[in-house]
Structure 1
Amino acid sequence: MRVGLLGTGSWARRVHGPALAAHPEVRLVGVWGRRPEAAAELAENLGTRAYDDADALIADVDAVAVALPPDIQAGLAVRAARAGRHLLLDKPVATTVAAARELADAAAEVASVVFFTLRFSTATAPWIAEQADAEGWFTGRAEWLGSIYAPGTEKPYEASPWRHEKGALWDVGPHALSVLLPALGDVTEVSAARGPEDTAHLLLRHASGASSVATLSLTAPDAAGGVTVELRGAGGVATLPKVWGDGPLDAYANAISALLTAARTGVPHACDVRLGLRVTEILAQAERSLHDGERVTT
Structure 2
Amino acid sequence: MHFPYPQPEPGEGPGPLFVIGDVHGYLDELLAALHQQGLIDAEGHWSAGRSRVWFLGDFTDRGPDGIGVIDLVMQLAAEAAAAGGYCRALMGNHELLFLGAARYGDEAVQSTAGTASFLAAWRLNGGQQHDLERLQPHHISWLSRLPAMALEDGHLLLHSDTTAYLEYGETIADVNDAVHALLADEGIDEWWDAFRKFTKRFAFRGQAGTMAAQELLAMYGGYRVVHGHSPIPYLTGEHPEDGTPPHVPGPYIYADELAIAMDGGVTMDGRLLVARLPLN
TM-score, with length taken from structure 1: 0.31
* Bigger proportion of residues as strand: 1
* Bigger proportion of residues as helix: 1
